[in-house]
Amino acid sequence: MPEDLLPNQLLTARGLEAGYPGKQILFGVDLAVAPAEVVVLLGANGSGKSTALNTLSGFVRPWAGSIRFEGAEIAGRPPHRIFRRGIVQVSQARDLFPDLTVEDNLRLGAWARGGAVDALAEDVFRSFPRLAERRRQMVRLMSGGEQQMVAIGRALMGRPKLLLLDEPSGGLAPVFVKEIAAIIAELKRRAIAMVIVEQNIKLALSIADRFLILRDGRVTQRQDIRAGAADEQDIVRSIYL
């Protein structure tokens, strides 16, 4: 049995099938996340990475399979219910409100999960000094890297038990890739479990406990890299060749 199908996981997805009208994308995907674990999903463009994350968060309804989160079956539940349970996603498009300020975008992240909103916001501003300086700025005036920070900050406002990040470094300049990597490393130190889709293999391997490779909607490789380093060239070959 694959190590990620053992009991005592935070999340266990088995046999996930999903897609869009007339087009199946995921074929029997098994994926599990232990508490505080970081699982990275690798794969070429169109391999189904975002569809897999969107299935976990409920934005794509699975056709078949099971998703257990903290012991409850959540497959087929609507996204807001899944969010309330603590699965919080930063989508590939980030989905911010461009005409609202940084602070208002953050506050919206606490909507539906409650908590001490002011304290949560101050905590985010402490972790992201760049955002603190720009708290009253409209999000559309910020760079891509800063917007990614707002998106991650907003997700933290939802007090995630499981954070889903879809290409957090996507399209960013190297200086921002570094900053985002540092932020993810800090979240890992805080023991937030994560599933991260990442095309930057160096970044992926620097933060992952385990990785999975998706190919045409199927998991073709899974590896625990806590014990030893993975071979980057091998991984590139498994993804693209």
Ligand X SMILES: Nc1ncnc2c1ncn2[C@@H]1O[C@H](COP(=O)(O)OP(=O)(O)OP(=O)(O)O)[C@@H](O)[C@H]1O
Binding site for ligand X (CB under 6 A): 20, 23, 25, 43, 45-51, 92
**Interface characters, 81-110, with Mg ion (x: CB under 5 A):** -----------x------------------
Nearer to ligand X, 49 or 134 (CB): 49
148 binds Mg ion (CB under 5 A): no
Q: Least CB distance from residue 109 to ligand X, whole Å?
A: 23
Residue 55 interacting partner from Mg ion, ligand X, none (CB closer than 5 to 8 Å by kind): none
| Cα Dmax for the chain | 51
Q: H or E element: which one contains 12?
A: strand 11-20
Nearer to ligand X, 84 or 215 (CB): 215
Name residues contacting Mg ion, limited to 20-59 (CB under 5 A). 49-50
**Interface characters, 175-214, with Mg ion (x: CB under 5 A):** ----------------------------------------
Structure tokens that stand for 95 in this block: 């989905």
The CA R_g of the chain, rounded to the nearest whole Å, is 17
- 154/90 Cα distance (integer angstroms): 9
- 49/67 Cα distance (integer angstroms): 16
C-alpha separations of 87 from 2, 82, 156, 195, 232 in Å? 23, 6, 11, 10, 30
Applying CB under 5 A, the residues found at the interface with Mg ion are 49-50, 92
